[in-house]
Every structure is written in structure tokens, then in C-alpha cells.
Structure 1
Amino acid sequence: MTSPEEPLPPELSPRHQAEVLGGVPPEGQRAGRRAARRPGRRRRWWRIALLALVLLLVLLLAAGVATYVWANGKLNKVAAITQYSGRPANGPGTNWLIVGSDSRAGLTPQQQRSLHVGSDSGTNTDTLMVLHKGRNGPVLMSIPRDSYVTIPAWTDSKGVEHGQSKDKINAAYASGGPQLLARTVEQDTGIHLDHYTEVGFTGVVNIVNALGGVPICLAGPVVDSKSGADLPAGCHTLNGTQSLQLVRTRYSLPDSDLSRIQNQQQFLQALASRAVASRTWLNPFTFYPFLSACLESLTVDQGTGLWTLGQFGQQMYRVSGSGGKTVTVPLATQDYTTPSGQSAVLWSPTGSATLFSEIQEDRPVTVPTNPSGTTSSGN
């Protein structure tokens, strides 16, 4: 056998030389080095992947917080909810006053014609509702805009004092704006209001368009030359203009304003359903245009932020579920003529008082749910 001191024959391969010397062949050395490196490489890749995931989550969280802070500061706010002597006590649950105004501010003559809204310069309420969140499920109560009520004494922006008067509830908004309207609703119903939400004509159009439309199923056709509505029976995805036409239509409906109230209730539920759907919140190409439209279109009270608006949307969505109710203030007559000769409606003294106390005290509502020819077709 060749001794270690003697040179190895050149014809021996490196592998044989290693075997003769009692060492590890080069292939084994390389395999050992690869095996030694592999766990380290795997650990490094896991660390890189974990770090990338953490950075992504941090960026998403930062973007969410930044969006929330930015949007919360962009909300249009008005001092609609105020303290005053004799105000109803704060009851259990939460109550939102929902107002749809007919303001034409910012509309060009062409837009006024295309939307069929006319050119009135005054501002009234086309929609007036109270949304109650409580232990027994949400309740959406509509107040006919022609309700003949007591408007409390108030002082205008010029310091002129106005005494208590009787008039249609619309007059409270037209004369004293959101603050007088909110106080009138509180005083006449005994319901403590916590929040205020208002949207105008263009707001409805812009919000619906940002969501890509709102799904509605109509039991019968809705055709009205005044609002411009021309919707056949069946299921539709309404765009912004069609949505505005639907909620404004009343003259061609069987019960005029009461039928319109039912359409408005169901439209708002369908709108809320689309707004809280995952397809809206998880799609930035829908979410940010929708958020922008809301910020430009909605007016809320001083105490309302994005979180409160989110709760509002969730309760509107839940109203259409099995635990929710939509009602209208019970009426004594739809054909009341005021001392000034106006046509108005009167509340039922007993029925309305019962409904108002049930909402204020957060008790189960016993007023029958409104029948409706309109339903949401889902998300």
C-alpha cells in the first residue's frame, strides 16, 4: 500500500485519492456544504417573507388610519342638534334624524332639466325620517312632510324672534334650517334626537353612481312626468338619476306622498345594503369614489364622525332584515285643510303618541309594518 509520504500515482482520480487518504470525496464535501447551507437559506427566506408581510400590514393599517383621519375631517357639519329648555330626555338607544332636501344649489339649468327638479330657489324637505337603534332591532319611522304640527318659538340669524306657530313640518326647515327642524321633531314627537344626516338632490345621484347603481325590484311600473320616472315593473339596477326619480315620484302613485314614503324607505335600505357590502369596502375603485361622494354630499351634526356614519349605515341595512321595522306616523286624516287653505295631514293622537313613546323608551314597536311595492334585490 502506498504510504502517505509517497506521492500518489497521477492516474488516480481525485475521488480515489481522497479514498486512499481516508478523507471525504469532493462530491461529499460539496453535498455537505449544500446541506449545511440549505437550512440557513430557508430561514433567511422565511424571515424576508415575514418581514414583507409585516411591512404590508403596517402600510395597509397606516393607509386605513390616514384615510379615516382625512375623511373624518372632511365631513360637512352643521349645528343641528342643540340643547334647550324642555328638550326630551336622552332615552335608551340612538336616534338619527334623516333629511332629504330639495336644494337646487349648484345645479345648472341643464342639470335641473335633466333631473326634472324644477328651479325653485327655496329649500324644503322631500324626505323626513327617524332611524332608531335599540334592543329590539332598528326602526325606520317616516314623517310625512305635510304633517301639520306645532313649530316652537325660535330666533333667526339676524336676531329676530319668532313665536310658536302651527304649520306644515316642512316650514320648520324652510324657515329655520336643520336646527329648527330637529327641535320641531323633538318637541312634537317627544323623541330625543342624537344625530342628524342630510343629503340633497345631487348627493343622491352622486352616491348611487359611485356605488355602481342600486338594485331595486318594483311590484308595478313607476311612471311620472313630473319626476321623469319611467320604470317598468321588475328588478332593476337604478343609476343615480333613476334613483332620484323614484324617490321623488308621488303624483302618479295610489296614495301620493304615503306611497312615495314606502319607496323612499325601501330605496334607503337597498342603498345601505350596497354601501355595507364587501364588494364596496374591499374594492378601492368603488370604495374611494363612494367615500368621496359621501363627503361631498352629506351634511351631519357636529357630533357625527365616520364611525357614527358607519353605525348608521349598518342599522339602515338591518332595517330590511327580520328584526327591523319600517313604519309611518299613524294619521287621523290625509285631507286636512289648514286655516290658511293649505292641504295637510294630521297625526292620529293615540296612534302617534304610542309609536313615539315606544321609540323614545326603546320598547317593541306595535304599529304595523308598512306594506310596500318595492323591495331590495340584495347586495
Structure 2
Amino acid sequence: MRRSTAVLSLLATLVSGSCVAAAQAFPGADGPPRGGHGRGTNILVVGVDSRAGLSAAEKNRLHVGGKGCNCTDVMMLVHLSQDERRASVVSIPRDSYVEYADIDPARLGKVNGAYAIGGGPLTVRTVEKATGLRIDHYLETGFTGFEQAVDDLGGATVCTDKPLKDENSGLDITAGTHHIGGNGALRYARARHINRPGDLGRVRRQQRLVTDLLVRLKAEGALSGPVSTARTVRTLLKSVRTDERTGLDDLVRIGWALGRLSADRTEFATVPIDIFDHRVPGVGSTLVWHKSRSEALWDALGNDRPITGDTRIQPAPKTPARTNPAGIAVRVDDAAVAAALRANGFVVTDTSQSAPSVRPEGPVVISYAAGKEEDAATLAAALPGSRLRVVPGHDTHFDVAVGTQPVRVEKVTYDRNVAEGAPVTADRLSCAGGGTGG
């Protein structure tokens, strides 16, 4: 049980972008299970949104101006399988709407608020209450610790298929693959106002950052044996402190095991969400977990099973949509196709009255402006066999021109959980595996 905390030391340094660097174990960590199934080891990693102790110059350098909330800003539950041959990392969005533990009368709020009420211990018990799992270890980490650790490890690699800019975090990078230092990695991990605003996209970027750091550490031999792993662990311990039950030998053994873990044996996911903007008086906008999917997720972890490929957690739609049809405005020059796309959730304007009297030879043609490739892919999925055409200077609408070939409108399914947080193995998240995005 003690050795598993080593995984936390590495992941906490690579993932979390918040708080003062500190580690804390909760009462009973090595005692009898306090709920859940007790298979494998569960570790809760949090970053606390606090600017305490940071000078004005440090805040400016880290781009963390403003007032901290003294609440958890980043939260990941790491499950190490009993045989140590699989690691599953589940991000818990900070705005998750849950019932706090040990409060009478019962009180509900954002999961990040548990820390402000009762610190790490209440945070742990609240996560246990919400998930039904036993938490074996707990760790906090921080802004400066994160920055220093990434720098000490030689920087990080990030990749994106489009420019990423967020004034709040200070992130500003072009499309492509970039090697960045600790400061840049912190900005990348904290960015919340890119593409679709919110935590889910940020969480996926954090997962990609962790994946590529681990890929590089293994490729460079930093976790290839006891000696190299000990050197890496000592580097991490400059910015991450562990609880008193965790020694260097424990960290080396687990770090070495992590180095032997193939990318397809490391899983990442975000808790499935049902309602993305549940407004609660006095609390604000919250995220409500999808009941059956989240329960299936916790059940899989509690029974030490993989979370990827489990259709209870992530059903496989027949025709998945990359973006939400409700945000895609389309002009269609055929009444029947217009009606079918409207029923599919697209915002449709019927232009059939101005359609040509003689249809052009060939399939449906979708015309659109450059930069709208993801929405174009969603529309094309609803119109299988269609041809895409980028038109310079085109307006924000998509134009669908029906040709002589028969048209079939396919029902597409948009699930934001699929787009931003579906269970996936690390080999699909890494830059080498094509894991890009905003």
C-alpha cells in the first residue's frame, strides 16, 4: 500500500497546476478499508487554488493574478491495479455537484468547495462518499512546484492542430509540436478559455501533458532501472514532498514499475457528465454526473477492471459527432434534406425555393469557410458520401447543395463526454499517437 504513493508523486508533479507544494496522508491510510471494494490502490491528487506566499513578481511570472479561492482547482483519482500492471487516471472536474461528507444537515456544493470547509481530510471523505471508493493516499501540489518539476525533468512536449491562446492563463502557442519549459507547461495545463470553455478541455490537455512527459522519461531511460529511477525520484522530491510513510525505496520501486508500463496499459478519463450547466442558487453553475455511467466507472475501478472499452461507462454511438449539431447553421437547397437535418439537431434554413432547376452531377456538396473543419466533419457524418469544399471568404453558415445522387441523412449522436473525456489509453493521447486538439 505504501509503495503505491510513488505513482502519486510523479503524477501530482506532472498534472496539477495549483497550490503550495505539500503532501498529506489522511488518518487510516494503512488501516482497514473505509469503504469501496479494496482492490488495488486509489490515490487522490489535488491542486489547491491559493496564491498564499507568492510575491507579486511570482504571480506575474506564473500568470496567476487574482484571488485564490482556497479550494481544489485540479483533482485526479489515480487507481493502480493490484498487480501493478495497469494505471487508471480519472479527472474529477472541480465544479462537480456532490454532497459533502460529515456535514449535518446534508449540504451539496461543488466538489472543490470541500477543501475550503474542511481541508484535505474532508475532500478525501467527500470523494469517497461520491464515488463509493476507498482513498488510500492523498497529495497536494502547487504552482511553483509544478513549474520547477517540469524544468528539472527537462521540459515537456505539447502538440496541437490549431493555435491555442488563453489570456487568463497566459497560454499563446501556434499549431504544431512544441517543447516547453515549466512556465509554459503551467499555462498549458491551466488554460480554461480555449475553443469550448470549461474544465473538460483543460483536463484533457493535462492528461496529454502527463502522457507525453511519461513517454519522454521512458524513452530517455529515466525510469529504466533502479539507479536511473532513483535519480529521477530525487529530482521530483525537490518540488514534491510525500507523506512520512513513503520512503525513497518505495518511490523507486513504483517508479520503476511505471517505467515498465506500456502506454496501452495506462488509461485516462473524465467523470461522465449529464448536465453541463446546472444552476444552483448560492453555488452557481455546476456539473452533474451522469448517474449510470459514473456509477459504472466507480464500479470498474472498485473491482480493479479496465475502464477503456466498457460500454457502460462510454456507450459506442453508431455515428458519433465531433461537435454539437445545435451550434451548426446550415442552408440546404432541398426541402426533404433540410427537414431531416433539422430533426437531427442542426440549425437549418430551407433554401429549396432558390435551388437550380437542374441538379449538378454527383453527390451532396458541403461548402464552408476555412477553420470550420470539425463542424464540417459533423455535418459530413450526417450526410455520408458528401463532398467537402472550402470556400475562401465564405460566411459562418454551411451550404448544402444536393446533386443527382440519392441523399441519405444519418442520425448523428453528439456526446460531449466522448468529445472531451471518453476513457482512452495513453498511446492515443500522446503526440506520437496523434493526440492533438484544443
Question: Normalising by structure 2, what TM-score?
Answer: 0.60
State the match for 2:122 in structure 1.
180
State the match for 1:30 in structure 2.
none
Alpha-carbon displacement from aligned partner over 1:305-349 (angstroms, at most 9, x marks no partner): 334444665676678712222111111111101132500000011
CA contact (8 A) 1:142 1:329 kept: yes
1:331 and 1:319 map into 2 onto residues whose CA distance is: 29
Unaligned runs of 5+ in 2: 1-20, 315-421, 434-438
| Alpha-carbon shift at residue 252 of structure 1 (Å) | 2.1
| Alpha-carbon shift at residue 211 of structure 1 (Å) | 1.3
Q: Does 1:99 align with 2:46?
A: yes
CA contact (8 A) 2:43 2:136 kept: yes
1:184 and 1:315 map into 2 onto residues whose CA distance is: 30
CA contact (8 A) 2:24 2:243 kept: yes
Aligned with 1:108 (options 51, 55, 60)? 55
Q: Does 1:118 align with 2:65?
A: yes
Q: Does 1:151 align with 2:100?
A: yes
| Alpha-carbon shift at residue 273 of structure 1 (Å) | 3.5
| Alpha-carbon shift at residue 184 of structure 1 (Å) | 0.9
1:219 and 1:321 map into 2 onto residues whose CA distance is: 22
Q: Does 1:230 align with 2:177?
A: no
1:314 and 1:166 map into 2 onto residues whose CA distance is: 41
1:315 and 1:129 map into 2 onto residues whose CA distance is: 20
2:264 and 2:79 map into 1 onto residues whose CA distance is: 16
Amino acid at match of 2:60: R
Aligned with 1:297 (options 209, 225, 239)? 239
1:227 and 1:268 map into 2 onto residues whose CA distance is: 18
2:242 and 2:217 map into 1 onto residues whose CA distance is: 18
Q: Does 1:259 align with 2:201?
A: yes
Aligned with 1:338 (options 272, 280, 300)? 280
Q: Percent identity?
A: 34
1:139 and 1:339 map into 2 onto residues whose CA distance is: 35
Please list, as runs of the form range in 1=range in 2, the aligned pairs for 1:318-357 lying within 5 A after superposition: 321-357=263-299
1:98 and 1:234 map into 2 onto residues whose CA distance is: 30
If you compute each CA radius of gyration, which structure gives the higher value, 1 or 2? 1
| Alpha-carbon shift at residue 215 of structure 1 (Å) | 1.6
Amino acid at match of 2:200: L
Alpha-carbon displacement from aligned partner over 1:244-289 (angstroms, at most 9, x marks no partner): 000100112325210001001111222334445545469xxx9899
CA contact (8 A) 2:22 2:139 kept: no
Q: Secondary structure at the match of 2:237?
A: helix
Aligned with 1:212 (options 149, 154, 158)? 154
Distance 1:253 1:303, change over 3 A: farther
Aligned with 2:34 (options 84, 87, 92)? 87
Q: Does 1:131 align with 2:78?
A: yes
Query: Structure 1 residues 119-128 or 350-359, which shifts more?
Result: 119-128
Distance 1:237 1:129, change over 3 A: same
1:270 and 1:221 map into 2 onto residues whose CA distance is: 19
2:44 and 2:77 map into 1 onto residues whose CA distance is: 5
Q: Secondary structure at the match of 2:264?
A: coil
State the match for 2:132 in structure 1.
190
Larger helix proportion, structure 1 or 2? 1
Amino acid at match of 1:79: A
Query: Structure 1 residues 302-311 or 197-206, which shifts more?
Result: 302-311
1:308 and 1:129 map into 2 onto residues whose CA distance is: 21
2:150 and 2:78 map into 1 onto residues whose CA distance is: 20
| Alpha-carbon shift at residue 146 of structure 1 (Å) | 0.3
1:343 and 1:315 map into 2 onto residues whose CA distance is: 41
2:252 and 2:209 map into 1 onto residues whose CA distance is: 18
State the match for 2:321 in structure 1.
none
| Alpha-carbon shift at residue 124 of structure 1 (Å) | 2.2
Amino acid at match of 2:43: W
2:73 and 2:91 map into 1 onto residues whose CA distance is: 11
Amino acid at match of 2:287: V
CA contact (8 A) 1:207 1:293 kept: yes
| Alpha-carbon shift at residue 150 of structure 1 (Å) | 0.7
Q: Which has the higher contact order (CA 8 A, sep 6+)?
A: 1
CA RMSD in angstroms comes to 3.3
Q: Secondary structure at the match of 1:300?
A: coil
2:120 and 2:169 map into 1 onto residues whose CA distance is: 25
Query: Structure 1 residues 125-134 or 315-324, which shifts more?
Result: 315-324
Unaligned runs of 5+ in 1: 1-74, 155-161
Aligned length, in residue pairs: 295
Alpha-carbon displacement from aligned partner over 1:116-164 (angstroms, at most 9, x marks no partner): 111425422221111112157221111111001011126xxxxxxx754
CA contact (8 A) 1:80 1:196 kept: yes
| Alpha-carbon shift at residue 302 of structure 1 (Å) | 4.4
CA contact (8 A) 1:76 1:296 kept: no
Question: Normalising by structure 1, what TM-score?
Answer: 0.68
